[in-house]
Structure 1
Amino acid sequence: MENKKPRVAIQGIRASFHEEAAFKYFGTDIETVECNSFKQTFEALKNKQADYVVMAIENSIAGSILPNYSLLMSYNFPIVGEVYLPIQLHFLTLPGVKFEDIKYVISHPIALRQCVDFIDEYPQLKVVESNDTAACAKRIREEQLTDTAAIANSLAAKLYELDVMERRIESNKKNFTRFLIFTHHENAKNQQSNKASLCFQVTNEVGSLAKVLNILAEQEVNMSKIQSMPVLGKRNEYNFYVDIEWNKAEQYDKAIRQILNYTQNFNILGEYQRNIED
């Protein structure tokens, strides 16, 4: 079993940004399990059809992907890592196609939005939205579309043998997506960790959240993210998702012990190694 390639479930198809993130985290010697939705990736993990899930959780431009917070809570698999991926988008065509032959540009709506400055320069191009950047590249190859360009990553260009006609056409060059890595509980080995993702509710008393934040500050534990989401079916009740980082394990342990006094439904979603943006 030890020598088997890790099976990694991703939303989308091969050469998507999710596969690129999986390669960055695990290396390229993996078996990619393609799934149509984020829910399907967790189902694959639950049914032991995959060993890991790689799931986008936030983007530096588009913000948090809120439905994915609900998913990670309902499936409750531990987070064992994270990876930041720079989102670099290219204008891809079949080899030999000339720019003046192109009538259509196809990609995922978010990718199209992220390249709006480039697209606006060429009003003759008709923009067509699709469900997956890599699937657009694949379609150009399979259907031999000589009048269409896809906006996708260099992995898609390589896999589907397309030419990169224009490189790095994204408007913001500092665009990163953060992905979380999930696995089965028995796979989550005790590792040296310096980051954790927590979820909790606080009482409705004045200052209860402030008390939690003060504890973190007193223990010199850095809060790198806080996200609130309404508790389903409960008025004025919120889940707080918090990412924290520390330098000394005892600071973290002490902070957690104290926070428990001021929170309800406290849950450690995962403890893992912090990944640094490139």
Structure 2
Amino acid sequence: MKKDKPRVAIQGIRASFHEQAAFEYFGENIETIECDSFKQTFVALENKQADYIVMAIENSIAGSILPNYSLLLGYNFPVVGEVYLPIQLHLMALPGVAFDQIKYVTSHPMAIRQCNEFLDEYPQLKIVESSDTAACAKRIRDEQLTDTVAIANVLAARLYGLDIIERRIESNKKNYTRFLILTTHDNVAKQTPNKASLCFQVSNQVGALAKVLNIFADQGVNMSKIQSMPVLGKRHEYNFYVDVEWEDSKQYDAAVKQVLKYTHNFNILGEYLRYEEEGEKAVTTAKAEKPARKYISIKKLDK
């Protein structure tokens, strides 16, 4: 039986950037499943307490969230979409609190790193790290803290009744975070993908990785992301996480067929539609005239 609202697991609480990303992808008619950690979002999906996960994977200032790559590979849930969310960070406090009353600034470590230039101007403020931006705003409201401000988004200020006393304090105004959308294999909808997230290993020989990357280039497949992580317990061995994009699926099919000859432990983490914008709205549907492409789930592929 089809549910009225998709249940979406996020790290954090309501009004966090994860919920904002979920709204961007699914619309606001969702049921948000709050989780204390990224791992708990996967557990919620595994236990059928959620239908989808929205998970941050990289930020344009702070970089990749490396532990989340291990979760992608370890839990075997396919990536079915992505969202690029502009990150606008504001300083917020209880109504009536003046800037000179502030002693503490609290937020998630990633948000704090994205506001270093602003915070460096006020060395007298003590930085307090927390697990979630919205949770910091909620704590100020719940405990009526008059000496503390949170760094969070507009949704948090509205939901928890705080005043924004400094707007747009992020160091880079073109700051964005990329979020991945994951679900169970049974819940994957048919679509015509033009982007894939892959993971593989190559032999520890000169030019081994370059050979693989040249295959993508020769087939006209654009590599939009590459991230390496050591294989746990194995010296000189690395997992390479690669995002690729294409215009014609034949290019991608040909590239994967050739790459399999030069890699091992090759995994397709997901095939999906890349995030695009029409004005401010994401394109999340394929062109109707294209035939649906069979989804290849994450697994080791035989050569």
TM score, norm. by length of structure 2: 0.88
Partner of 1:196: 196
Equivalences, count: 278
The alpha-carbon deviation at position 215 of structure 1 amounts to 1.2
1:35 paired to 2:35:
yes
Over residues 207-251 of structure 1, what are the superposed CA-to-partner deviations in whole Å (9 max), with x where a residue is unaligned?
Answer: 222221111111100011111111122222111111000001111
* 1:3–1:71 distance in 2 versus 1, CA, 3 Å: closer
CA contact (8 A) 2:62 2:114 kept: no
The alpha-carbon deviation at position 196 of structure 1 amounts to 0.2
Over residues 141-177 of structure 1, what are the superposed CA-to-partner deviations in whole Å (9 max), with x where a residue is unaligned?
Answer: 1111122211111110011011111111111111111
Q: Distance in 1 between matches of 2:120 and 2:214?
A: 47
Partner of 1:235: 235
1:121 paired to 2:121:
yes
Q: Distance in 2 between matches of 1:125 and 1:199?
A: 42
Q: Distance in 2 between matches of 1:215 and 1:114?
A: 36
Q: Distance in 2 between matches of 1:229 and 1:60?
A: 19
Aligned identity (percent) is: 76
The alpha-carbon deviation at position 86 of structure 1 amounts to 1.2
Partner amino acid, structure 2, of 1:71? L
Q: Distance in 1 between matches of 2:139 and 2:167?
A: 20
SS of aligned partner of 1:171 = coil
1:164 paired to 2:167:
no
Partner of 1:185: 185
* 1:98–1:204 distance in 2 versus 1, CA, 3 Å: closer
Aligned pairs for 1:1-278 within 5 A = 1-276=1-276
The alpha-carbon deviation at position 55 of structure 1 amounts to 0.8
Over residues 19-78 of structure 1, what are the superposed CA-to-partner deviations in whole Å (9 max), with x where a residue is unaligned?
Answer: 111111111111111111111110000000000011111111111111111111110100
Q: Distance in 2 between matches of 1:204 and 1:27?
A: 45
Q: Distance in 2 between matches of 1:235 and 1:110?
A: 30
The alpha-carbon deviation at position 193 of structure 1 amounts to 0.8
The worse-fitting range, judged by mean Cα deviation, of 122-131 and 86-95 is 122-131
The worse-fitting range, judged by mean Cα deviation, of 213-222 and 127-136 is 127-136
Q: Distance in 2 between matches of 1:212 and 1:275?
A: 25
* 1:100–1:209 distance in 2 versus 1, CA, 3 Å: closer
The worse-fitting range, judged by mean Cα deviation, of 157-166 and 43-52 is 157-166
TM score, norm. by length of structure 1: 0.95
SS of aligned partner of 1:255 = helix
Partner amino acid, structure 2, of 1:168? R
Any gaps of 5 or more consecutive residues in structure 1? none
